[in-house]
Chain A
Amino acid sequence: MQATHSDESAALFSGYKLASYDELFGPDRTPRPHYAPLYDRLIKLGPDEIERRHKVADLTMRNQGITFTVYGRDQGVERIIPFDPIPRLVSAAEWDGIERGLKQRVRALNLFIRDVYHNRSILKDRVVPAELIFGASGYRRDCLGLRVPKDIYIHVSGIDLIRDAAGEYLVLEDNCRTPSGVSYVLKNRQVMKQIFPFLFTEYNVRPVDDYTDKLLSVLRYIAPDGCDDPTVVVLTPGMYNSAYYEHSFLARQMGLDLVEGRDLVYDRGQIFRRTTRGLQRVDVIYRRLDDDFLDPLAFRPDSILGVAGLMGAYRAGNVGMANSLGTGVADDKGIYPFVPDIIKYYLGEEPIMNNVETYRPLVPSHRQHILENLEKLVVKAVDASGGYGMLIGPASTKAQREEFRRKIEDNPRGYIAQPTIQLSRHPTFIDGRLDGRHVDLRPFVLYGEDVFVLPGGLTRVALPEGSLVVNSSQGGGTKDTWVLHGSGADGRRAPGRPTPEERS
């Protein structure tokens, strides 16, 4: 029996609740213009067909080993990240603002890092408190006075954005060390092309595939002077690291060796890799290893992941490294509240994108406000990531709030607090129908000869109903993010294009 259009619609969107800012529906429950073709198409497909295609996607990911490792029980279990097949669409106009905002932010942060390790004018001018910088866990004294190639520190960054109830994009977090997730952006796109080819013929989606090309250019750009054809490697902590899939994927896409610390050796100021034909020189390292583990001689002596002597080669300018050492000072959550000031200070511009309102216990009036409103706020440790070390006020117990009260009083520098923001929601395929789930967005920015923002990014979804935590280590999923071309208000392709694979 042929189901009628409205029956299908009822099944797919039955019980769909509007809350927060909904990415697909406007407040009057009609699809936003750029989502209209997708909405129609989803209803035409119906739940069973979406389910079937969803399973194909999962199987592809499982077979290709697109996994991450969860730490904790059983010393690490490989899992695939739950993948949601409903794409998120970003209109050309929205993206324009995001792109300009991110470029501005990353340029300013880069100038900030250089300043911190050289002139320190921002400290002298008392724009950012010195104690915050020197107390940041990402601050590296070893970088004082150290010149890095082309003065670029944050070659790769992932800036987490959220959308508040009014639909405004806000920066939630800067990731300036070794942000993960770009492999899922590229892989999600491949899988989507496989399962929904006809959607791509309908929409003008900006491609993401050239990311690895661009990344390779950045890496080659930071080779030591006089090195015309640099040997570049990707440095991974190893197969048991949670982001190993990504490291391997990037190396493969760029045609580079994926090395571990034990594959490299320092000799007379240079870094070499151990090959079947002896030692060969390495010029640039894209490291996916935290500062602390890079060189047991300079940092943690117990680390077996790094290369003894690497810092020596880096300091001597014999090897380029992305990201540079010490960038963690810029993504410290204690610095975060000052980024708008940092942008004004270095660029003389107003910030294009705003921060989430943030309270700092160091400021007495803020501290009082935080302690009085713990059940309404999100409290974050400034040096934690991955959704660890957080208090989510509305979902917390009294005991947890007491614990954080003590922590904040003991170490006011160690925490920040933000109002709980109802992240925007997006239709997500759950149990055979669509339901709204909170999402964020991590676009990736490359800094080489130019600043480049990958059109798209990783949309992370908090899968449990009502949850605001999107981290994959906390059970979050991902979905593909489509940045649409400017032609036509709704991002549709010009009419008359054939859609041959429509029924495939």
Chain B
Amino acid sequence: MLSRVAESLYWMGRYIERAENVARLLDIGLFIELDADLGGGERFSPVEIALTILACRDAFPLDVEAPSRDAVLRFLTFDRSNTQSILSMIARARENARGTQEAIGVDVWSEVNRLYLFLGGTRAQRKFVRGPSSLLNTIKNSCLLIDGMIQNTLPRDEVYHFLELGRHLERLDVLCRILRAKCPILTQQVEGTEAAMQLVRWTSLLRSCSAHGPFLRSERERVEPEGVIRFLVLDPEFPRSIRYSAARCQESLESISGGDDDAYGCEAERILGRLESDLRYLDVEEIFDRGLLRFLDSLQHTCHRVSDEIQRSFFLM
């Protein structure tokens, strides 16, 4: 397929995945805030932490003295000047989809276009005013609908695999970012009333990855740091774990480059293959021994290298 089209598909996959994740993150953040008394110094932190995760804290207008929760939510949802806002990401996904209509088909394109028109219009604004949560859920569901259409209407050819590659690499990356941002608070040793708060935070971490229910079912145990990290990083079956995402990326890359079983088609495939086998034999104690933050940093570094290599192998022809 055309390199330009492949590149558009890859980025469309990434933007939609990220928009969905941001919507979920904000929704869960809001939910936790409304639920718990967080005490001083953390007035709107579960929502605000999204600024850190998306690395757009600096872009937030500083002239606002004490940014309200509402201002942060708007900035992350609607602000066109913020490249990390949901609207900006859907706008870019839509540009990519518009340029690849002949590849993705009219169903997928219409749904992306519809979501974009909705977010830029007054109906979304009204919905936000009535309650951000329902708007965030609409966005999330629309992203999932797009994915559902991709899964159920596209043949498993290059078009599909470039979309999937983008989606899962982004999922891997976002998960790293979420863990990276939340872990410093999560791993603090705390006592007394704060201890109850820690449980809420670990639960919210699971929720922001759609992992709470699956975690409870699979681990059959209380929410404890080691179990949570094992589940989110190493679980082979959960579709939002790092190991699962890495394996899907590798599968898509194999299909695209059509390499043999015992050879790799490109550098990205080699790096991913190594990551995948590393995760396969890794033990959660080892992660904590290495240092969770150091582990996450190196994971994110790997992610960036894979992205650069994909760029080099397929799009710059």
Question: A: which residues have CB within 8 A of B?
Answer: 62-65, 239, 244, 248-249, 251-252, 256-260, 262-263, 273-276, 278-279
Contact = CB atoms under 8 A, between A and B. Distances in A.
A275 B1 contact: yes
B2 A259 contact: yes
B129 interface: no
Given A239-B95, A239-B99, A278 B109 contact: no
Nearest to B316: A274
B81 interface: no
Nearest to A257: B2
Given A252-B105, A252-B106, A276-B256, A65 B1 contact: no
Nearest to B3: A274
Interface stretch (B49-57, B110-118, B239-247): B110-118
A262 B6 CA distance: 14
Q: Which of A62, A248, A251 neighbours the largest number of chain B CB atoms within 10 Å of its CB?
A: A248
B98 interface: yes
A256 B113 contact: no
Contacts of A65: 98, 101, 109-110, 113
B98 A239 contact: yes
Contacts of A260: 4
Contact of A274 (B2, B98, B102, B114): B2
B102 A276 contact: no
A63 B117 contact: yes
B4 A64 contact: no
Contact of B317 (A63, A239, A244, A274): A274
B102 A256 contact: yes
B2 A263 contact: yes
B205 interface: no
B4 to A, nearest CB: 5
Contacts of A62: 117
A451 B102 CA distance: 27
Contacts of A263: 2-4
Nearest to A259: B2
Task: Please give me the 4 A-B residue pairs with the lowest Cβ-Cβ distance, nearest first.
Answer: A252-B102, A251-B102, A248-B101, A276-B314
A320 to B, nearest CB: 20
A263 to B, nearest CB: 5
Nearest to A59: B114
B317 A275 contact: yes
Interface in B126-165: 158
A273 B1 CA distance: 9
Contact of A273 (B2, B98, B114): B2
Contacts of A258: 102
Contacts of B6: 276
18 contacts: A62-B117, A63-B110, A63-B117, A64-B109, A65-B98, A65-B101, A244-B98, A248-B102, A252-B101, A257-B1, A257-B2, A257-B5, A259-B2, A274-B2, A275-B2, A275-B3, A276-B317, A279-B317
A258 B99 CA distance: 9
Given A63-B117, A248-B101, A258-B102, A276 B158 contact: yes
Contacts of A275: 1-3, 317
Nearest to A278: B317
A274 B117 CA distance: 32
A63 B108 CA distance: 11
Given A63-B113, A65-B109, 14 more contacts: A62-B117, A63-B117, A64-B109, A249-B101, A252-B102, A256-B102, A257-B1, A257-B2, A257-B102, A258-B102, A276-B6, A276-B158, A276-B317, A278-B317
Interface residues of B, number: 22
A65 B113 CA distance: 7
Interface string B1-31: 1111110000000000000000000000000
A317 to B, nearest CB: 25
Given A239-B98, A256-B102, A258-B102, A64 B110 contact: yes
Interface string B290-314: 0000000000000000000000001
Interface in B71-109: 95, 98-99, 101-102, 105-106, 109
Contacts of B4: 260, 262-263, 274
Contacts of A256: 102
Nearest to A279: B317
A239 B94 CA distance: 12
Contacts of B99: 239
A276 B109 contact: no
Most interface-central of A239, A248, A274, A276 (chain B CB within 10 A):
A276
Contacts of B117: 62-63
B110 to A, nearest CB: 5
A257 to B, nearest CB: 6
A130 B98 CA distance: 45
A274 B99 CA distance: 16
Contacts of A249: 101
B6 to A, nearest CB: 5
Q: Report which residue of B95, B102, B114 has the largest number of chain A beta carbons within 10 angstroms of its beta carbon.
A: B102
Contacts of B95: 239
A282 to B, nearest CB: 11
Given A64-B106, A65-B110, A65-B113, A276 B3 contact: yes
Interface string B251-286: 000001000000000000000000000000000000
Interface in B195-249: none
Contacts of A64: 106, 109-110, 113
A258 B109 CA distance: 15
A244 B109 CA distance: 14
Contacts of A248: 98, 101-102
A275 B315 CA distance: 8
Residue from B110, B256, B317 having most chain A Cβ neighbours under 10 A: B317
User: Which of B5, B99, B101, B158 has the largest count of A CB atoms less than 10 A from its CB?
Assistant: B101
A342 B317 CA distance: 49
A63 B158 contact: no
Nearest to B111: A63
A85 B4 CA distance: 38
Given A239-B95, A239-B98, A252-B102, A63 B114 contact: yes
Contacts of B102: 248, 251-252, 256-258
B104 to A, nearest CB: 9
A398 B120 CA distance: 45
B100 to A, nearest CB: 8
A251 B2 CA distance: 14
Interface in B142-194: 158
Of A62, A260, A275, the most chain B CB neighbours within 10 A belong to A275
Nearest to A64: B110
A276 B1 contact: yes
Contacts of A252: 101-102, 105-106
Contacts of B317: 274-276, 278-279
A252 B117 CA distance: 23
A152 B59 CA distance: 58
A276 B5 CA distance: 9
A262 B105 CA distance: 23
A63 B98 CA distance: 12
Nearest to A250: B102
Contacts of A259: 2
Contacts of A257: 1-2, 5, 102
A248 to B, nearest CB: 5
Nearest to A239: B99
A274 B1 CA distance: 8
